[in-house]
Structure 1
Amino acid sequence: MTKLSVNINKIATLRNSRGGDIPNVVQFAKDVQRFGAEGVTIHPRPDERHIRYQDAYDLKPVVYTEYNIEGNPIPKFMDMVLELQPTQVTLVPDAVDAITSNSGWDTIKNKDFLVDVINQFKDKGIRTSIFVDPDLKQIEGAKATGTDRIELYTEAFAHQYSLGNQKAIEPYTKCAELANSLGLGVNAGHDLSLDNIQFFKQHIPGLLEVSIGHALIAESLYLGIENVVNMYKNKLK
C-alpha cells in the first residue's frame, strides 16, 4: 500500500499570515497522524516564509510515523537534517526565490555534488530521495548518486490530466518501471489531488509514498481534514 505523507507547509503559511501560533503546526501534525496519515512532510525554505527551521525541531518529538524533510541541501539545511535525523530527506533543487518547487534535479550534471550530500545523510542512517522529472536518463543518473529513492515531480501529469490527457501518465509509468528495475524506491508529489491520485496510483508500479500538501489542505477547507486524509488513503489502496 502506498503511504500518504501530509505536507503541512500551508498550515505554517496560514499561521504566519496572522502572527501568533494559530493554527499550531505541531498539533496539526499530531492530528493528521491520528487521522491515519503515515507520514508528515515539511519543506523549510531559507526565508522561512512558511515552515520555519524551529518548526522542524519542534516537530521531531511528535512525528511517530515517517518524518520527511524536503529542501535544497544548502549548508543550513544540511546541518539541521543531520542533527534531527528524520526518516527521510528529499533533496529538491529550489531556487531561493521559487514560490514552489518547479523542477527536478539534473542528476547527471550534479552527480558529484549529490553523491557527496547523499553520503553524508546515509552515514547518519537517513533515507534519501531525489526530486526528479520523469526522464529515463535522470532516473539512471539518480541511481549513480547512491540515493535510496526518487520522488517523481508530478506537476506536468496533474496539469495534463486535468485537461483530459490520460496519456500524460506514460512517462511516469516508464520511469517507475526503470526505477524498480534499478532497485530505487519510488515516491511522488506535486499537484496530486483527490481528482487524480487514484489514476496515478493505478499506473505507477511500486509507488511507495506520495507527499501531498496544497491540494489536501485546500480540499480539507470544504470536507474536513480527517475526512480528506481517509479519502486519500482509500484511493491509495
Structure 2
Amino acid sequence: MAAPVLVAEYFVREIPRKQGPPLSLKQCSTGDVGCVVWDAAIVLSKYLETDRMRLAWSGRTVLELGSGTAVVGLMAATLGAFVTVTDLDELQDLIQLNIMENQHLVTGTIKAKVLKWGEDVSEFLPPPDYVLMADCIYYEKSLQPLIKTLKELSGDNTHIFCCYEQRTMGNNPVVEKKFFELLQKEFEIEEIPLQEQDEEYQSEDIHIYVFKKKKKPSSNNAAVSE
C-alpha cells in the first residue's frame, strides 16, 4: 500500500477500487482513533467489492457503526447501496469532508448522522439490510452499549459484517472474548474464510464475521400435542 501523503493538517490515503478511480480519504494528522483509516476498515471495504459480494449492495440499505473516516460506508455507496454512516459528533466534520471528496464515485446514496452506542436508534429504523463495523471492539465499557445497539438495529433479515484486527497486547484479548460471549447470546456468528476475502487485502490477524440475530422459537412449535 502506498504511504499516506501529508497535506495541511490531513493525510490523504487512497483506497483502490476494482472498477474506477480510488477512494480518496482524508485522515487527521492528530486526533482520536476515529481520525485514521485502520487496516481492518480497508480489509472490510475490499471484501465488499469481491466478486462474491459486489452485487449484494445495489439498492440495499446499509448502516455503518463507528465510521471514523467513512471508508467502509463510502465503498458500499460506490456499489449502489443507500448508506448511512454514523459516529460521534466530533467526527462528523471529517466524515462530511470525505463524503464530499468522493461524492462523484457514489452510485447509491450516502449521508452521515450522529449515533452513540446504547442510545435511541428509532431514527435509523426500520432495520437496515446490512450493518457494517470495522475495528469497533476495543473498550470494555463500550461492549454492552454496542451489543444493545446491534440488537435494536437488527431485523430478522439484517446481516452484520464485523471486521477487526486481533490484538494480543494489554486488555485486548479480554475485551474480544467478552464481546463474543455477549454477542452469542443474541446472534448467530459465522467467520468469513480468507479464501473468500480479497486476495491482496487480507491478513490472518484481521477477521471478518457475519452476525445474524437469533430467531425466537415460535409459540406454535413449543406447543405439545396431546
What TM-score, normalized to structure 1? 0.35
Task: Return the structure number with greater relative CO, CA threshold 8 A, min gap 6.
Answer: 1
In terms of fraction of residues, the more helix-rich structure is: 1
What TM-score, normalized to structure 2? 0.37
Larger Rg belongs to:
2
In terms of fraction of residues, the more strand-rich structure is: 2
